[in-house]
C-alpha cells in the first residue's frame, strides 16, 4: 500500500489534532448509532496518541471495547473531479470508519494502515462528519492474541500474552487525500548490483489501462535512467549503493500517461543494495554485516504508542551515539515515519509482525501461566493462522520498498517446540517467501525452545534467539550463565549452520540503584551481565548480531514482576542513559577499529 503524498497530481490534508472522544462503556454505541450525529461528550483526545494515559479516569485506561473519535472535515474545493480518500495509519486493534451516517471501512490489525474511497459520499468545498471507532479487544483469533475475562458484576478485563502494555486508539496520523481516477495504485521495487552498476527492477500497478513512464534521479536531481512500461528494469551506471551508516537514496517517479498527458505521478525513494545469507554470514552488498542495536518499543509517557517526531529524532540520535546500526520493530510494524527515517540515515531494520504471544505457557511474560496447549481448536487455531497470514501480507505490502528492511520476522517467541507448531508456521513461512523472495525470513525463538526441541527453525534463514541466561535463568550467577549460554549457542551453530542473532538479552535495572557486589537490578549488574554475553558472542563463529533488550524502559501490564513497567532498557523511559549505555558505546563504537 502506497503512503499518501503530495505530488503534481495529488494533494493531502493532515487530520491530526484534537478530536471529540467518547468511551462505549455500555457496549451500545453501534446500535445507538453514535456515528450518526455529533458525539455527546466533553472529552477530547489527541491524534496521534494512545488514549489510555491521557485521562485521569481509571475506567478509561482500563476500558475493554470500543471508543469513538469524531471531527468535522472540509474537503478542499479544488478537488472536484478527483478521487477522495480517507486513510488511517493505524487503529489499535480494530477500526471502523464512518462518513456522516455510512460505514466506509472496517479493518482488523492494529499496526498497519487502511483507507476508504469516499468520493461518492462527500463534496469538494463541503464538509462532513468523520467518525472513527476503535476497538482494543484481543481474542485467540487476533494478532496479537488475548482473551477477555468477565467478572460477576460485568467488569471486563483484557488478558494478553505479551509483555508490553495494550495501548489503544489512533496512535498514528489520519489523512484526507486526493488522487486521479486513473492513477498509480502500487509500486514494487527490487534492486541488484552488477559490477559498478545498480539494477532497479520495478512493477507499477495502475487502476486502469494506461501508459506508464518511469524515471530515476540521483540525489542531485540528475536523471540517471528511464523506461516506458508498467514493468521493467533500469540500469544505473556507477551507482552509489545504500550502505549501513551511509544511506544513499535515488528517487523513482512513476507517471501514468493518458492521451499524451501525465494523469498521475508518484515518487518513491529507492536504495540500491543487496541482501543475502551465505552459510553462517549475513551479507549486505556482498559484505558480512554484524548487527548492533536493540529491540525497541513505540512507547513513551502520556502518548503511549502515539507517534512523536521529537522522540523519533532523539531515539535515532541516541542510537547513533551508542554505535547501534540496527533495530528490530519488536513486536509489531512501526510507524512509516520510523521506516523512512531509517532509510534516510542508513539504519538496518528487522521488520516484525504483531504475532507476539503465540505461546500459552508465557502468561504475559516469562513467569508461567495456566498450562494449555498453544495450538488447538480452542486456542491458537485456524482463525489465528488466517489473521497471522493477513498480518504478513499487510506488513510486506507496506514496507517492501524500504532499503533499510533487510529481513522479515514473522513472529516473536511462539511455542515453537510444541505439537502443532510446524503445521501452523510452515504455510506462513512459505507465504512470506512468496510475497518477497528478495529478503531472508526469520522468527524469534523463545528460550524454552532449544536447538534440541524446536520444530520450525529449519524453515527460516537466520536463527534469531532471545536468551536470558543470568537473568531469568542462572539469576545472579554469571559464571554458570556463561557456560550454559555458550553451550546452547554452539548447539545451534552445529545443528543448523546458519547465522545467529541474539535478538533479546537483558537484565531489569533500576536507574540509580548501585551495588558493590553487582547485585541483580543494579546498574553494575546490567553492565557485567552484558559483558558476559559479549564474551560468549565473540567466541561463536556463526554469530552475526547482538540486539539488547531493550533500548528504553517501557510500560507493561500490572504485576509483581513489573514495577511501573519493564526496566531492561539501556535508557530510562525518558531516555536517560544507565551505566550500561556507556559500556555498550565503548564496545560498539570500537567495532572494526
Q: H helices of 22-138, where?
A: 58-61
Q: Please report the beta strands in 78-218, taking only residues with DSSP state E, as ranges in sequence order.
A: 83-88, 94-99, 102-108, 114-117, 127-135, 146-150, 156-160, 174-179, 184-194, 197-206, 211-217
Which of 94, 255, 336, 413 is flagged as catalytic? 413
Q: Give the position of cell 507476539.
A: 356
Q: Give the position of cell 478542499.
A: 76
Alpha carbons 439 and 552: distance in angstroms, whole number: 28
Alpha carbons 351 and 332: distance in angstroms, whole number: 8
Whether 223 and 182 have beta carbons less than 8 Å apart is answered as no
Q: Give the position of cell 481516477.
A: 181
H-run or E-run covering 490: helix 478-496
Alpha carbons 403 and 247: distance in angstroms, whole number: 9
Q: Is 486 a catalytic residue?
A: no
Q: Give the position of cell 518511469.
A: 214
Q: Is 546 a catalytic residue?
A: no
State how far Cα 69 lies from the chain centre. 24
346 DSSP 8-state letter? T
Give the list of residues 6+ apart from residue 53 with CB closer than 8 angstroms, or none: 61, 167, 301, 302, 303, 304
Alpha carbons 373 and 319: distance in angstroms, whole number: 40
Whether 549 and 568 have beta carbons less than 8 Å apart is answered as yes
Q: H helices of 263-367, where?
A: 309-322, 336-345
Q: H helices of 280-324, where?
A: 309-322
Peptide bond into 331 cis (omega under 30): yes
Which of 82, 115, 336, 504 is flagged as catalytic? 504
Which residues are the active-site residues?
A: 413, 504
Amino acid at each position: 500500500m502506497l503512503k499518501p503524498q503530495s505530488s503534481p497530481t495529488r494533494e493531502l490534508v493532515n487530520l491530526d489534532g484534537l478530536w471529540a472522544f467518547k468511551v462505549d462503556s455500555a457496549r451500545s454505541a453501534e446500535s445507538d448509532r453514535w456515528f450518526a450525529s455529533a458525539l455527546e461528550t466533553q472529552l477530547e483526545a489527541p491524534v496521534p496518541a494512545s488514549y489510555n494515559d491521557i485521562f485521569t479516569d481509571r475506567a478509561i485506561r482500563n476500558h475493554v471495547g470500543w471508543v469513538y473519535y469524531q471531527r468535522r472535515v472540509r474537503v478542499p474545493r479544488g478537488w472536484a473531479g478527483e478521487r477522495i480518500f480517507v486513510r488511517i495509519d493505524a487503529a489499535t486493534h480494530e477500526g471502523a470508519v464512518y462518513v456522516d451516517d455510512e460505514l466506509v471501512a472496517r479493518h482488523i490489525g492494529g499496526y498497519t494502515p487502511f483507507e476508504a474511497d469516499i468520493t461518492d459520499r462527500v463534496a469538494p468545498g463541503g464538509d462532513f462528519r468523520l467518525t472513527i471507532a476503535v476497538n482494543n479487544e484481543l481474542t485467540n483469533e487476533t494478532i496479537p492474541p488475548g482473551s477477555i475475562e468477565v467478572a460477576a458484576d460485568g467488569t471486563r478485563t483484557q488478558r494478553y500474552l505479551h509483555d508490553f502494555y495494550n495501548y489503544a486508539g489512533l496512535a498514528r496520523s489520519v489523512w484526507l487525500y486526493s488522487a486521479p481516477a486513473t492513477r498509480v495504485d502500487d509500486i514494487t521495487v527490487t534492486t541488484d548490483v552488477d559490477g559498478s552498476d545498480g539494477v532497479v527492477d520495478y512493477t507499477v500497478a495502475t487502476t486502469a489501462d494506461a501508459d506508464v513512464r518511469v524515471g530515476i534521479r540521483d540525489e542531485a536531481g540528475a536523471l540517471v535512467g528511464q523506461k516506458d512500461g508498467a514493468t521493467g528494469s533500469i540500469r544505473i551506471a556507477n551507482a552509489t549503493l545504500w550502505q549501513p551508516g551511509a544511506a544513499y537514496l535515488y528517487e523513482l517517479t512513476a507517471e501514468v500517461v493518458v492521451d499524451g498527458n501525465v494523469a498521475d505521478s508518484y515518487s518513491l525513494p529507492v536504495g540500491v543494495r543487496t541482501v543475502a545469507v551465505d552459510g553462517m554470514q549475513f551479507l549486505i552488498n556482498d559484505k558480512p554485516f554484524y548487527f548492533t542495536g536493540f529491540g525497541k518499543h513505540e512507547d513513551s509517557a502520556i502518548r503511549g504508542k502515539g507517534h512523536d517526531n521529537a522522540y523519533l529524532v532523539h531515539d535515532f540520535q541516541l542510537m547513533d551515539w551508542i554505535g547501534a546500526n540496527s533495530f528490530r520493530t519488536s513486536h509489531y510494524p512501526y510507524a512509516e515515519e520510523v521506516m523512512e527515517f531509517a532509510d534516510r540515515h542508513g539504519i538496518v531494520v528487522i521488520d516484525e509482525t504483531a504475532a507476539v504471544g503465540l505461546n500459552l505457557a508465557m502468561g504475559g511474560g516469562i513467569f508461567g501461566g495456566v498450562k494449555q496447549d498453544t495450538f488447538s481448536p480452542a486456542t491458537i487455531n485456524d482463525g489465528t493462522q488466517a489473521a497471522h497470514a493477513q498480518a504478513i501480507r499487510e506488513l510486506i505490502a507496506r514496507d517492501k520498498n524500504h532499503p533499510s528492511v533487510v529481513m522479515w520476522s514473522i513472529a516473536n517467541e511462539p511455542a515453537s517446540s510444541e505439537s502443532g507448531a510446524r503445521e501452523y508456521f510452515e504455510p506462513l513461512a512459505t507465504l512470506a517467501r512468496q510475497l518477497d523472495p528478495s529478503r531472508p525470513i526469520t522468527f524469534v525463538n523463545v528460550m524454552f525452545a532449544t536447538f534440541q526441541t524446536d520444530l520450525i527453525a529449519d524453515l527460516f534463514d537466520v536463527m534469531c534467539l532471545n536468551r536470558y541466561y543470568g537473568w531469568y535463568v542462572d539469576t545472579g550467577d554469571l559464571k554458570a550463565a556463561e557456560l550454559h549460554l555458550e553451550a546452547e549457542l554452539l548447539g545451534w551453530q552445529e545443528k543448523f549452520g546458519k547465522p545467529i542473532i541474539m535478538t533479546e538479552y537483558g537484565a531489569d535495572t533500576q536507574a540509580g540503584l548501585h551495588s558493590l557486589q553487582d547485585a541483580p537490578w543494579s546498574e553494575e549488574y546490567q553492565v557485567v551481565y552484558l559483558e558476559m554475553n559479549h564474551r560468549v558472542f565473540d567466541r561463536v563463529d556463526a554469530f552475526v548480531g547482538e540486539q539488547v533488550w531493550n533500548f528504553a524502559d517501557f510500560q507493561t501490564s500490572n504485576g509483581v514482576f513489573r514495577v511501573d513497567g519493564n526496566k531492561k532498557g539501556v535508557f530510562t523511559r525518558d531516555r536517560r542513559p544507565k551505566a550500561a549505555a556507556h559500556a555498550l558505546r565503548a564496545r560498539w563504537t570500537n567495532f572494526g577499529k
